[in-house]
């Protein structure tokens, strides 16, 4: 694995984005891509699925707060 300190910092930064309801921003997505590259994670392949519990968590903690912020600013 690549530099463990850099990987740790990227994971902490991504967790901060998630905690602040900004886990779907471009910066957070780029951080996730960098983490995936550093750890050798591969994209989902045809027939593979995302855990439904993870999708529920994402909907509740990331997507819903982002929608609220968008309505407040318009």
Domain borders along the chain are 4-73
Question: Residue 73: what pLDDT?
Answer: 52
What's the chain's average pLDDT?
82
Q: Which residue has the tokens 């318009």?
A: 74
Q: Which of 63, 67, 9, 71 is nearest to 35 (CA)?
A: 9
pLDDT 10s digits, 6-37: 999 999 999 999 888 887 789 999 999 999 99
DSSP reduced 3-state for 51: coil
């Amino acid at each position: 694995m690549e530099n463990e300190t850099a990987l740790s910092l990227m994971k902490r930064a991504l967790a901060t984005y998630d905690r602040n309801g900004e886990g779907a921003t471009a910066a957070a997505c780029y951080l996730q891509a960098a983490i995936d590259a550093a750890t050798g994670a591969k994209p989902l392949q045809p027939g593979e699925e995302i855990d439904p519990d993870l999708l529920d968590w994402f909907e509740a903690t990331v997507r819903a707060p982002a929608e609220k912020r968008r309505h407040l600013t318009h």
